[in-house]
Structure 1
Amino acid sequence: MAKPTISFTWADARRLFWKLCLVLFLTSVLWVLVYRWIDPPVTLHMLSKRSEPSPKTEKVEVIQYRFVELEDMSQQLPLAAIAAEDQLFITHSGFDFKAIKQAFQRNLSSKKTYGGSTISQQVAKNVFLWHGRSYLRKAVEMYFTFLIELLWGKERIMEVYLNIAEMGDHVFGVHAASQYFFKTTPDKLGRQQAALLAAVLPNPIKYSVKNPSGYTLRRRRNIVRNMNRLGGSDYIKKWMQ
């Protein structure tokens, strides 16, 4: 008895491909929508940090992380983040193309890698993606950046950013950082403290809040100047109205 033949044509392959794309698209939109109202319990970056030893103690430490609402933070914290990381955060649509172009040009002629990522891009990377450098990961990062800008809005993006940013070795977010470094809560942080936390954001393992280097202190002074130039707390109040 002859066995039935199974035919699989290019038309079938195309239909399967587009069905897979649709499933991935709907899944990603649902994932982003869920985090619009539900706080991320953990991020991929936290999980990767949990699985590796701390470079300072040579043993795995407990991840310190607790989500707090933006309204329960000192307004100095979002102000310091904007002043340090992304001064066009309120007005751009998720991308600072001028900064991206400048970083690309500097990387062509330098062994050191420069980034041009906005706060929105950093949130997309840290919440939804793995860390690494590849064109594929960057493309997916841009896709998720577009989604969170569209579905979350600026206040939610800033809220998530301040909660999931690594501010010390195994210390994530302003609640854990406030308690660990200053023995207080995020709503009680002053301008200098907020600026110091923002000063270590580029590399919280290399730069220390507890024992700030001369470079970190100079960076804090520059951030404080930028905070004043932006308009101080009034800048945040007007944005959040």
Structure 2
Amino acid sequence: MPTQRQSRRAQPAPERMPTSARMRQLMRRLKIIALILVMLPIALLTLYSFVPPVSTLMLGRWITLQPVTRDWVALDDIAPALPQAVIAAEDSRFCLHGGIDWSALRHVVDRAGENGPTRGASTIPMQTVKNLVLWPGRSYLRKGLELPLSVYADIIWSKRRMMENYLNVAEWGEGIFGAEAAARRYFNKSAKNLSRREAALLAAALPNPRQRNPAQPARFHARGANAIIMRMGNEDTSCLAR
């Protein structure tokens, strides 16, 4: 009578899946993962049409147990001077384009080096999409994803919603996100009570928010704010009206 060990040895080895079948299975899984990666940003942007959004930087800080300060407020609870200042500083054609300023983008691409563009032509929709579903940094890959998602966001959101989302996720310092948190941190007041100069100082800080202090602006920061104030009355902000 065979022993238990002999019985185990006598059992046939399980059949291995052919290499071609394993490759097909792997490709199917990769396609599913790719589809999820494509659909997730679209689903999130759709959700953020009516739900207060969360930026990837905020998520990253929460995951690494770093503090986040953000108080969501409606656009009606933000002083009109701030969206005016942000449009003047970041995207003068905000009310006119469909998410992308193609002429500015072509100008940047024409001057790009081997490692990608050295400066951006980012509109407010592009910056909002980057903050919400993409990653920081400059590369052709991120820009390639950013462009169609920006057009999609501009289609499904009103310009008011776009500005509202942007002003509530923009970074204004280490762990400080959104206009309300920034206004209270730097000026000890609500975003609804910001003056024109305070709004311009906040807008001038956006290109480098961790190095620029709106409450104690360096000389170049103050000069930038002065230039923004000069342009604030000339930009088209009619798309923000109800």
TM-score range, shorter chain: 0.7 to 0.9
Specify the code of the residue in structure 1 equivalent to 2:208. N
Unaligned ranges ≥5, structure 1:
53-59
Residue 42 of structure 2: aligned partner: 29
The reply to whether residue 212 of structure 1 matches residue 217 of structure 2 is: yes
The answer to whether the Cα contact below 8 Å between 2:95 and 2:238 also exists between their aligned partners in 1 is: no
Q: Secondary structure at the match of 1:205?
A: coil
2:190 pairs with one of 166, 172, 185: 185
Give, in whole Å, the separation in 1 of the partners of 2:92 and 2:121: 12
The CA RMSD measured in Å over matched residues stands at 3.1
The reply to whether residue 164 of structure 1 matches residue 177 of structure 2 is: no
Matches within 5 A, 1:46-195: 46-49=58-61, 62-108=67-113, 113-195=118-200
Against the structure 1 CA distance between its residues 27 and 167, is the aligned structure 2 distance closer, same or farther, given a 3 Å change threshold? closer
Specify the code of the residue in structure 1 equivalent to 2:44. W
The answer to whether the Cα contact below 8 Å between 2:72 and 2:168 also exists between their aligned partners in 1 is: yes
Unaligned ranges ≥5, structure 2:
1-11
The answer to whether the Cα contact below 8 Å between 1:199 and 1:216 also exists between their aligned partners in 2 is: yes
Give, in whole Å, the separation in 2 of the partners of 1:208 and 1:105: 33
Residue 224 of structure 1: aligned partner: 229
Against the structure 1 CA distance between its residues 99 and 236, is the aligned structure 2 distance closer, same or farther, given a 3 Å change threshold? closer
Give, in whole Å, the separation in 2 of the partners of 1:4 and 1:216: 66
Give, in whole Å, the separation in 1 of the partners of 2:187 and 2:132: 26
Give, in whole Å, the separation in 1 of the partners of 2:22 and 2:175: 51
Q: What is the TM-score when the length of structure 2 is the normalising length?
A: 0.81
Instruction: Give the % identical residues.
Output: 33
**TM-superposed deviation, 1:88:** 0.4
The reply to whether residue 38 of structure 1 matches residue 39 of structure 2 is: no
Against the structure 1 CA distance between its residues 90 and 237, is the aligned structure 2 distance closer, same or farther, given a 3 Å change threshold? closer
Specify the code of the residue in structure 2 equivalent to 1:43. S
Specify the code of the residue in structure 1 equivalent to 2:227. N
Could you report, residue by residue, the CA deviation over 1:4-24 in whole angstroms, capped at 9, with x for unpaired residues?
Answer: 866639988887776665555
The answer to whether the Cα contact below 8 Å between 1:106 and 1:114 also exists between their aligned partners in 2 is: no
Against the structure 1 CA distance between its residues 181 and 9, is the aligned structure 2 distance closer, same or farther, given a 3 Å change threshold? closer
Specify the code of the residue in structure 2 equivalent to 1:128. V
Q: What is the TM-score when the length of structure 1 is the normalising length?
A: 0.81
Give, in whole Å, the separation in 2 of the partners of 1:102 and 1:217: 28
Could you report, residue by residue, the CA deviation over 1:143-200 in whole angstroms, capped at 9, with x for unpaired residues?
Answer: 3212211212221111011011111222111000111111111111111111110011
Give, in whole Å, the separation in 2 of the partners of 1:24 and 1:152: 21
Give, in whole Å, the separation in 2 of the partners of 1:101 and 1:170: 34
Higher CA-based Rg: 2
Specify the code of the residue in structure 2 equivalent to 1:46. M
The answer to whether the Cα contact below 8 Å between 1:168 and 1:209 also exists between their aligned partners in 2 is: no
